[in-house]
Amino acid sequence: MEITASLVKELRERTGAGMMECKKALSETGGDIDAAAEALRKSGLAKADKKAGRVAAEGRIVAAQDGGKAVLVEINSETDFVAKDDNFLAFADAVAQAALASGAADADALKAAKVASGDTVEEARAAVIAKVGENVQVRRLARVDSANHVAAYIHGGRIGVLVELKGGDAELARGIAMHVAAMNPPHNKAADVPADFIAKEKEIEMAKMSDKDKSKPAEILEKIMAGKVAKIVNEVTLYGQAYVLNTDQTVEQAVKAAGADVVQFQRLAVGEGIEKVVEDYAAEVMKQAGLA
């Protein structure tokens, strides 16, 4: 069977593979477009397997929301260049929608969810790897499903936040989400700060105190320590921090003024916790040239 340009074009539009790959697949399958598409899919899976061990620490955080249901998904690539590629962006958005619709609890469960094309997330991932030429990973997700106000906020594609707010309104929930994106508080309220963290901070503050302060009466020393610990707790809690949209108030004051309460927040940032490989290209060239 003759492999026409229109047949190659049809297969390319269907699979997203390169023109030469499409022509080769059609030649090998005698012009059977379904068989050629399947062959390209298998080829994509093979490429994905080969690239699986490569570090993917760039990428994007994407969100999808329907009322009180919202998800964040971190999808990684090897380079920031690919993270801005249209194929990668379309895949990321499709995965976010699949995560929202499927109710998947984690990235492993999300692999089997279907994207709009009918492919599973894992099949779509293999296809995008074939297109962009880099390792792509669906790393993790965060989810909120609530009758309360829920805000999903993305900052620059690299930080995503979900906030669940009881009372108040959607505008306040979004403001709190923006604050969390900017300030990255480790905890919500003072009660959430681990006791061992507080004990360690007391130990550190005591070691920093002068002998003169340490010799003060126990009740005065206790008040001094309480003040120092309270300041530290404010720094590491959402409620204790100055609200970025109105620094004359703490977040707690802004929330309580609206008769509201932050039930929870979740924050994802691209690549956090991944050890990046730093390439020294100059040293590599010198080594290959026998100069190092």
pLDDT in tens, 116-138: 999 999 999 988 988 888 889 99
Task: Give ranges for CATH 1.10.8.10 in the chain.
Answer: 5-51
Task: Give ranges for CATH 3.30.479.20 in the chain.
Answer: 52-145, 148-185+244-272
- Using an 8 Å Cβ cutoff, are 52 and 248 in contact? no
Architecture of domain 52-145: 2-Layer Sandwich (3.30)
**What's the whole-model pTM score?**
0.75
Looking at the chain, the whole-number percentage of residues with pLDDT higher than 70 is 85
Q: Among the CATH numbers 3.90.950.20, 3.40.50.720, 3.30.479.20, 3.40.50.620, which is that of 148-185+244-272?
A: 3.30.479.20
| Confidence band of 43 (pLDDT split at 50, 70, 90) | low
For residues 106 and 84, give the distance between their C-alpha atoms in angstroms, rounded to a whole number: 24
Q: What is the mean pLDDT of residues 154-182?
A: 97
Q: What is the mean pLDDT of residues 270-283?
A: 68
CATH number for region 5-51: 1.10.8.10
* Lowest mean per-residue pLDDT among 99-103, 203-207, 263-267, 280-284: 280-284
Q: What is the pLDDT of residue 85?
A: 95
Average pLDDT, the chain: 87
